[in-house]
Amino acid sequence: MGELTASLAHEIKQPIGAAVTNAEACVRLIDRREPDLPEAREAALEMAKDARRAADIIERVRSLFRKDSSSPQEIVDVNEIIREMIVVLQKEADRHSARMSMDLTGRPTQVMADRVQLQQVLMNLMLNGIEAMRDATGELGIKSQCGEDGQVLISVSDTGVWLPTENTDQIFNAFFTTKSQGTGMGLAITRSIVESHGGRIWATANSGPGATFQFTLPIREEASR
């Protein structure tokens, strides 16, 4: 119950924060001497989308910890999800003066996955990288590769603070964190999701500054042919 509570608090923070931002924008647009109704309507629609995402995350995390096999899986293009999350996190990256870059394979990267959970995995890893570079301008690189073993390999690299090599095996444990304000749930949730999709995840320190997180997912047989 402690892990479930902490994980829910961690995962819904971003969409609820986005909903609050859109609600405040909606009020400002309506309170103008000449209300900007089209923009206010757009902000309200975004707010509804954020709220639905928070509700979806709550249900998915509950299913994950119940080991519920009925979690909705569909054919998902990993490269497409990466592009989506680049757009979603652009403002956060700008806030920390972090640059984001992509190096995506041209080969098919279709997997059977729960779309929301895969978004959570990438969001957790990308936010960790962005936050690791908060004290200096850096670069977050996201790369996808297709191996000969029928797996797609996704890498998220940052040029931020060093990875504590003595704690590498522990960083994916629930409640383990090196952040003063961290919950220690982000990477634990990420590992649970990746493993529930038949993949694995690991982290290594870069030869220079920063760290690289990598995870694999099995490619659909039809896509790999």
* CA nearest neighbour of 44 among 56, 65, 58, 28: 28
For the stretch 56-79, pLDDT in tens is 777 766 665 555 555 578 899 999
Q: What are the tokens at 86? A: 């680049």
Sequential DSSP letters for 120-178: HHHHHHHHHHHHHTTTS-EEEEEEEEE-TTSEEEEEEE--SSPP-GGGTTTTTSTT--S
Q: What are the tokens at 161? A: 């603070």
pLDDT of residue 7: 57
> Which whole-number Å values give the CA distances from 89 to 83, 100, 207, in the listed order?
10, 9, 26
- Assess whether pLDDT exceeds 50 at residue 44: yes
For the stretch 168-198, pLDDT in tens is 666 666 545 555 444 455 788 888 889 989 9
- 177: exposed, middle or buried (Cβ count in 10 Å: 0-12, 13-18, 19+): middle
Q: Rounded distance, CA 169 to CA 5, Å?
A: 23
Q: Mean pLDDT lowest for which of 41-50, 88-97, 127-136, 180-189?
A: 180-189
Q: Rounded distance, CA 28 to CA 159, Å?
A: 37
* CA nearest neighbour of 179 among 166, 165, 161: 161
Check: CB of residue 181 under 8 Å from CB of residue 132: no
With pLDDT > 70 as the criterion, what percentage of the chain qualifies? Answer: 76
DSSP 34: S
> Which pTM was predicted?
0.66
3 state DSSP class of 66:
coil
> Which whole-number Å values give the CA distances from 220 to 38, 75, 78, 152, in the listed order?
42, 8, 11, 10
Q: Mean pLDDT lowest for which of 54-58, 85-89, 151-155, 180-184?
A: 180-184
